[in-house]
Amino acid sequence: MFEVLVYVYENYWRPDACPGHSQLSRKLSAAGFETDEIQDALQWLDGLAAGTRSASAEQRSTSHRVYTDAERDQLGDESIAFLAFLESAGVLSPSLREVVIERASAAGPGPMELDDLKIILLMVFWSLGEEPDALILDELFVDDQDRLIH
């Protein structure tokens, strides 16, 4: 499913540029994706649209998040730490954090790889029609092993 989401992100820079489900499904199938993967991704995108609609209406606030054992098992410590980093940097609001956690839970059993969480984060920003600033994009795209230290 994550490969389908990356394809959608790379080919449709904004959600309003993305075609409807039937046309998108045909395009994804023509690109070589399996029907099950396509259906899972489309269902996941529907949940994302619903989640970001309600989250974008909420005001920014500060909060402290306590993760349940099930959420810790699903996300893993590395992903939770990355979410905390994005919140402390002012990039991720508490309401969007909840959308990310909900979408991570909808992605399947954990623990989630950090790279998969980063794809979810990109898709959350994409669904809002927003692009994070260059430094955050660097965190989301560049592998730590590929970073050059100046």
Using CB atoms within 10 A of its CB, is residue 98 exposed (0-12), middle (13-18) or buried (19+)?
middle
Q: Which residues contact 27 (CB under 8 A, 6 or more apart)?
A: 19
Cα end-to-end span (Å), the chain: 36
Q: Higher confidence at residue 121 or residue 59?
A: 121
Q: Pick from 84, 104, 96, 93: which is nearest to 127 by CA?
A: 96
Query: How confident is the model at residue 13, as a pLDDT?
Result: 77
pLDDT in tens, 9-19: 889 878 888 89
* DSSP-derived secondary structure letter, 146: G
Q: Pick from 101, 79, 102, 92: which is nearest to 128 by CA?
A: 92
Q: What is the mean pLDDT of the chain?
A: 84
What global pTM score does this model have?
0.78
**Band of residue 132 on the pLDDT scale cut at 50, 70, 90:** confident
Q: Which residues contact 54 (CB under 8 A, 6 or more apart)?
A: 95
**Band of residue 27 on the pLDDT scale cut at 50, 70, 90:** very high
Contact 91, 134 (CB under 8 A): no
Q: Higher confidence at residue 146 or residue 91?
A: 91
Rounded-to-integer distance, Cα 106 and Cα 5, Å: 14
Query: How confident is the model at residue 79, as a pLDDT?
Result: 94
Q: Pick from 47, 46, 52: which is nearest to 95 by CA?
A: 52
